[in-house]
Structure 1
Amino acid sequence: MFSIPRLTRISSRRIFLLKGRVPVKNIPSALQQIHVPAYNISPRTFSTETVKKQDEPPAGEATKHEFQAETKMLLDIVAKSLYSEKEVFIRELISNASDALEKFRYAHLSENSSLEETDRPLEIKIETDKQGRILTIQDSGIGMTKDELISNLGVIARSGSKQFLQQLKDKEGSGDNNIIGQFGVGFYSAFMVADKVEVYSRASGSPGYKWSSDGSGTYEIQPVEGVNLGTKIVLYLKTECREFSDEETVKNVIKKYSNFIGSPIVLNGEKANTVEPLWLQNPKDVPIEKHQEFYRYISGSYDLPRFVLHYKADVPLSIRALLYFPEGKPGLFEMSRETETGLALYTRKVLIKSKTNNILPKWLRFVKGVVDSEDIPLNLSRELLQNSALIRKLQTVLTGRVIKYLQEQQSKKPEEYEKFFSDYGIFIKEGIITNHDQLEKEEAAKLLLFESSQLADGKKCSLNDYITRTKEEKTIFYLAAPSRALAEASPYYESLKKKQQEVLFCFEPYDELVLMQLQQFRGYKLISVEKDMRDDKEASDLTNLGEDSLKRSEINELSDWIKGKLSGKATNVNATTRLENHPCVVTVEEMAAARHFIRTQSHQLSDDRRYAILQPRLEINPRHTIIKKLYKLTKENPKLAELLVKQLFINSMVGAGLVEDPRVLLVSMNDLLEQVLEKH
């Protein structure tokens, strides 16, 4: 089955072993393409014969050996502590078997090869015996001699695969390879589930041997007859691990971890690995029907992929990725930030993690698919990604490629992209709000879409589109409103509309919070029209108001009077030239944050405390009929004037979206109407 034990292959260039690192160059790139050896054996060809029964009679005396390197302690660590799930022993032994088959192919292709039976099917056979609690795994690979059995199975953490790679490197130079194992401890995972393990192995030109151990610190090697070329492992399972002698259990483990191994895996006479690793194929050769089938397989869902990103890169990291963007709308479970990402992580077609959280950022958790990279640093059990700069780099590369791909769809298929953004835009906005890195926020912001004052109703544009049209230097304006009609009628928009300044409309509740958090994009400041009004120093210049306006002294007098009547509510009262059709507006320092506060927290506070936090400022229009009439009423009917100014203030608060329940208008409005009707 294998010529050496192994745990995992980390990288053909980088091998991480605990805290140490040993560089190993690539194997010849030509070998990466070799899946069908010269003797015309197809990887899809497999025999239906079952594993050979135990009829290998002894051919000599058995010799007893002791494990090296504090093996008893190491065996305990491997069997009890290294792996979180017992089922991974099947993954480890199948990966060993795959390595043995690859080594046989390489050996056969080498010069002066004298291997026996080169026309035999290259496959992995697995047989279950539920009655006897026995699991048998057999390969037709390179096999082992007696010395190799002692060297490879007698010393834990000595990887024959790593040694094999080194030999190839010395002989051939650098390139790619299909060898998985590197650490040399994967074989010992068998002792997690087995009381006793027997290994029958024969290399070409060598007699067969039986290696056996109960994991207690010693093992025996005995010459035996009738051993097939290759390796067979027989596991006598512990009582509490009897489920691994059940065919259905083993089939499910194969499907989970080893479905994409290059060689056939035959379980009790039937091929068990039937799904192709599409991510390793040429994108042009994969029809959409195969993508649809594969998407359903890896996602466990019944919808179809909306977009397909088939990605390959060799620098700065070796990456083979197949990413799908779902067609269906996200469910409540997917919306939760506790949901894991839908990416499965593979290394050389062997599953490492079915849900990987740090390969893409959390906000891209709706993306489903497969990432296969030989450069990923793993811990010894191949179950956890080590925290390293490589993981960060991999995430950066993949995230950048996803964003670039979605931008391409935005340009090539605008209608389809708008539908996608309508369904999944909330995730992109989450990525901006939760990210602390400005560059990463701006990358995600490339995918945002908004309606614009310069475009027809319903038509959307990106921030990049806005920049190509903007007349205002280095500024992007935006306005939040429940609908386009209310946005275009907003008092905050009046002056910018008159100047034909483009403004983005934010109709979703959190759009303005996203833009406030983003702050800038490609050097352009993002400013809400309310904040622009509040900070506009020129708007407070009242020297050229005209004859239809209150005089400067009247404005000052009215402002002081209003401030007194709105004590505890409005922190200040200013006159502004920014208004034309509206008598007044309310501004606060950060309108987006204020509206978010009103939606989420203000109900817990008293009115006085709420106004103290918001600190609203009332901006009045001294040219408006109502404001001019208000000034007269302060002299003629102070009681009515007070009701009127309070009504104007609460109206402005509602218009600004700073009132949790607009029904509060009714009480003050009724009081005002009652006072007005007293004269009639």
Structure 2
Amino acid sequence: MSEQTIHKNKETRGFQSEVKQLLQLMIHSLYSNKEIFLRELISNASDAADKLRFRALSQPDLYESDAELGVKLSFNEQAGTLTISDNGIGMSRDDVIEHLGTIAKSGTKDFFAKLSEDESKDSQLIGQFGVGFYSAFIVADSVTVNTRAAGVAADQAVSWQSSGEGDYTVEDITKETRGTDIVLHLREEEKEFLSEYRLRDIIGKYSDHIGIPVHIQTVERDEEGQETGRKWEQINKAQALWTRNKSDISEEEYKEFYKHVSHDFAEPLTWSHNRVEGKQDYTSLLYIPSKAPWDLYNRESKHGLKLYVQRVFIMDDAEQFMPSYLRFMRGLIDSNDLPLNVSREILQDNKVTQSLRKACTKRALTMMDRLASNDAEKYQTLWNEFGQVLKEGPVEDFANREKIAKLLRFSSTHAETVEQTVSLADYIERMKEGQDKIYFLTADSFSAAKNSPHLEQFRAKGLEVLLMHDRIDEWLMGHLPEFEGKQFQAITKADLDLSAFEQEEEKEKRKETEEAFQSVVERTKTYLGERVKDVRTTFKLKETPAVVVTDENEMGTQMAKLLAAAGHDAPEVQYILELNPEHPLVSKMADEADEEIFGRWVEMLLGQAMLAEKGTMDDPSQFLAAVNKLLG
């Protein structure tokens, strides 16, 4: 650790309230695996080195005649301190206050809500929120950070100190070397980390893969065990993992590298390490996480891959290489074809970038397809975590629409469970002879879908229907007209035709019934006027007297709700009332000669149908008055 001079300009500041909560979790209950703190701090040091290397491309003076980047570990048994030092980018006073005094993320309320929901997931959530620095308080009763930003004078360094209670101090110091020294004042019960053997073991386990050397200060002793001197010894490979041969990398190394690049504490579901040479020259290492990040549904939040050019770190969250519907993917891409001084502006409109994005997207979809084929249980985990985001794909990515559709999963009447396990390929395999359409129903919830009256005739004929109950489903189906040559058919549309599954005798009988019932249809039309688009006879119902449907090109109920929820002015849905002439209530209405009483029956049937379809009605009082008079 570098030598310090007199401290000055000292101030005490209070932590952001969320940090106080986080520190209490860290100190009292969070981690079962305490050694994780060292992985997090070394990972941060590696990031600091990457950032300096990138900045130095345009400002080589930042190296200050010391271009050998690395991390050093030293400990003092008598003082009970462990020090992690790096010579990376360092921090200014403002940086220290911003990064160490607050959680520099939005959504902290959601974060703590999730912590309280399930304490067993706390460690995974900490990783997802990128607050690994605070893990130092798992083992330390106080932490000191001495840091100087690269390129500034030695007397512009700063020291940060806290015991993890409610506040921290910041003061100016002099630090001759750039970078950051983190001094952990270990608790008495955590002195196991003041052991060279223990530290070597942890580094070998968690940090062998990072691209900068990690040195430990070793003690030299004579034959009598007396200390004779100290020296620095490198204890990791210090070769970027993705540059090594795949055959030389163990499964554990891949998993630990994932935790390094993603700051996730959970293991990934799967990964793909790919080296391409020829027309393009790049390496990609892509991971599919096993847990969704807290901000998955915020399309504006940062996402993307770490970008390296010729093994030099360029930027985090390079969203140009992964479409929004794959924003849960993690990993990196290292290109030899992009310029080292690449900027986000260059990436926006660059043929190399577009080609790399296309390749990364294709590989991500292939990874998921293989997982679905080889490990259904793992794929179901992926779907449960990321399925709703993946459903954005057919809308955003027309070129890969069929591939994405193959990955989609839904509930259906085949199993009638809320879990979405049915693929479109499964559905097609079970289609009845003569069936040429994939039938689906969208609804507000699984319960509403499963109990919809629209399903009655499908159940009677043994036809499977996909039950879609996610909010995005209506939007999805508007952009997914077919799959493997089979068109999708919403069962709430008026053009629904199930005659292919009926006997000729049944068709003839229904034609006669429809003709005899036509006068009732006309009376109903006259009563309702412009309140509905049309009134028709239907034979698709069994237990239900009436339903409302829409024309094929008319906006459906769920789309109208989706637009309204998003604050848009949706046009009024024009419903068609369909009456079941074989239902006792409809027969009773048909036999009613008194037009006033007939109107009450119409009001009741229309109200029931609207409730079943929308969950609401325009004028409940009109419906209730009609029901009360009929029952009175």
TM-score norm. by structure 2 comes to: 0.60
Q: 1:352 to 1:459 in 2, by over 3 A?
A: closer
Aligned twin of 1:220: none
**Match status 1:638 vs 2:601:** no
Aligned twin of 2:334: 372
Displacement of 1:550 in angstroms is: 8.1
Take 2:504 and 2:578, find their aligned partners in 1: how far apart are those partners? Answer: 13
Per-residue Cα deviation, 1:257-278 (whole angstroms, up to 9, x for no partner): xx96588999997869975422
**Match status 1:356 vs 2:318:** yes
**The one of 609, 612, 622 aligned to 1:655:** 612
Structure 2 counterpart of 1:291, one-letter code: Y
Q: Is the 8 A contact 1:453 1:502 kept in 2?
A: yes
**The one of 587, 590, 594 aligned to 1:628:** 587
Q: Is the 8 A contact 1:550 1:623 kept in 2?
A: no
Structure 2 counterpart of 1:623, one-letter code: E
Displacement of 1:461 in angstroms is: 2.1
Aligned twin of 2:90: none
Aligned twin of 2:170: none
Q: Is the 8 A contact 1:583 1:627 kept in 2?
A: yes
Matching of residues 605-620 of structure 1 within 5 Å:
613-620=572-579
**Match status 1:570 vs 2:517:** no
Q: Is the 8 A contact 1:360 1:399 kept in 2?
A: yes
Aligned twin of 2:542: 580
SS of residue matched to 2:558: helix
**Match status 1:137 vs 2:66:** yes
**Match status 1:293 vs 2:256:** yes
Aligned twin of 1:400: 362
Displacement of 1:441 in angstroms is: 2.6
**The one of 486, 499, 509 aligned to 2:461:** 499
Per-residue Cα deviation, 1:234-273 (whole angstroms, up to 9, x for no partner): xx95669966976453799xxxxxx965889999978699
Displacement of 1:327 in angstroms is: 2.3
SS of residue matched to 1:137: coil
Structure 2 counterpart of 1:279, one-letter code: W
Q: Is the 8 A contact 2:548 2:575 kept in 1?
A: yes
Take 2:567 and 2:531, find their aligned partners in 1: how far apart are those partners? Answer: 17
Take 1:365 and 1:352, find their aligned partners in 2: how far apart are those partners? Answer: 19
Matching of residues 37-436 of structure 1 within 5 Å:
90-91=53-54, 135-137=64-66, 247=177, 249=179, 276-314=239-277, 317-331=280-294, 333-376=295-338, 384-385=346-347, 387-433=349-395, 435=396
Aligned twin of 2:410: 450
Take 2:64 and 2:421, find their aligned partners in 1: how far apart are those partners? Answer: 61
Take 1:556 and 1:526, find their aligned partners in 2: how far apart are those partners? Answer: 31
SS of residue matched to 1:564: helix
TM-score norm. by structure 1 comes to: 0.56
Displacement of 1:403 in angstroms is: 0.9
**Match status 1:526 vs 2:497:** no
Structure 2 counterpart of 1:647, one-letter code: M
Aligned twin of 2:31: none
Take 1:617 and 1:465, find their aligned partners in 2: how far apart are those partners? Answer: 33
**Match status 1:536 vs 2:497:** yes
Larger deviation, residues 588-597 vs 410-419: 588-597
Displacement of 1:588 in angstroms is: 1.2
Per-residue Cα deviation, 1:346-401 (whole angstroms, up to 9, x for no partner): 12221011120111111111111111121335656698426223222211111111
Structure 1 counterpart of 2:427, one-letter code: Y
Q: Is the 8 A contact 2:556 2:573 kept in 1?
A: no
**The one of 451, 472, 480 aligned to 1:510:** 472
Q: Structure 1 unaligned runs (5+)?
A: 1-84, 98-125, 129-133, 140-235, 253-258
SS of residue matched to 2:347: coil
Q: Is the 8 A contact 1:95 1:350 kept in 2?
A: no
**The one of 622, 625, 629 aligned to 1:671:** 625
Structure 2 counterpart of 1:295, one-letter code: Y
Take 1:353 and 1:604, find their aligned partners in 2: how far apart are those partners? Answer: 36
Take 2:511 and 2:629, find their aligned partners in 1: how far apart are those partners? Answer: 27
Structure 2 counterpart of 1:460, one-letter code: T
Q: Is the 8 A contact 2:554 2:574 kept in 1?
A: no
Aligned twin of 1:147: none
Q: Is the 8 A contact 1:305 1:324 kept in 2?
A: yes
Q: Is the 8 A contact 2:538 2:578 kept in 1?
A: yes
**Match status 1:594 vs 2:554:** no
Take 1:93 and 1:596, find their aligned partners in 2: how far apart are those partners? Answer: 52
Q: Is the 8 A contact 1:361 1:399 kept in 2?
A: yes
Q: 1:429 to 1:377 in 2, by over 3 A?
A: farther
SS of residue matched to 1:476: strand
Structure 1 counterpart of 2:589, one-letter code: L
Q: 1:544 to 1:299 in 2, by over 3 A?
A: closer
Per-residue Cα deviation, 1:79-133 (whole angstroms, up to 9, x for no partner): xxxxxx9996744758999xxxxxxxxxxxxxxxxxxxxxxxxxxxx9x9xxxxx
Take 1:415 and 1:275, find their aligned partners in 2: how far apart are those partners? Answer: 36
Take 1:542 and 1:616, find their aligned partners in 2: how far apart are those partners? Answer: 30
Q: 1:240 to 1:408 in 2, by over 3 A?
A: same
Take 1:644 and 1:652, find their aligned partners in 2: how far apart are those partners? Answer: 12
Displacement of 1:519 in angstroms is: 1.6
Take 1:452 and 1:394, find their aligned partners in 2: how far apart are those partners? Answer: 37
Structure 2 counterpart of 1:336, one-letter code: N
Aligned twin of 1:557: 519
Q: 1:438 to 1:386 in 2, by over 3 A?
A: closer
Displacement of 1:326 in angstroms is: 2.2
Q: Which protein has greater RCO, CA pairs closer than 8 Å, 6+ apart?
A: 1
Displacement of 1:472 in angstroms is: 4.8
Q: 1:314 to 1:499 in 2, by over 3 A?
A: farther
Take 1:604 and 1:576, find their aligned partners in 2: how far apart are those partners? Answer: 35
Take 1:394 and 1:488, find their aligned partners in 2: how far apart are those partners? Answer: 43
Per-residue Cα deviation, 1:496-539 (whole angstroms, up to 9, x for no partner): 333333322213232233122222223322221222x4353969
Q: 1:604 to 1:651 in 2, by over 3 A?
A: farther
Displacement of 1:474 in angstroms is: 4.7
SS of residue matched to 1:305: coil
SS of residue matched to 2:610: helix
Q: Is the 8 A contact 2:604 2:627 kept in 1?
A: no
Per-residue Cα deviation, 1:581-633 (whole angstroms, up to 9, x for no partner): 3222111135774323135428999xxx98x7211111112222221211112
Displacement of 1:479 in angstroms is: 1.6
Take 2:582 and 2:572, find their aligned partners in 1: how far apart are those partners? Answer: 30
Aligned twin of 1:75: none
Q: 1:547 to 1:632 in 2, by over 3 A?
A: farther
Per-residue Cα deviation, 1:128-160 (whole angstroms, up to 9, x for no partner): 9xxxxx921367xxxxxxxxxxxxxxxxxxxxx
Take 1:503 and 1:473, find their aligned partners in 2: how far apart are those partners? Answer: 12
Q: 1:237 to 1:424 in 2, by over 3 A?
A: closer
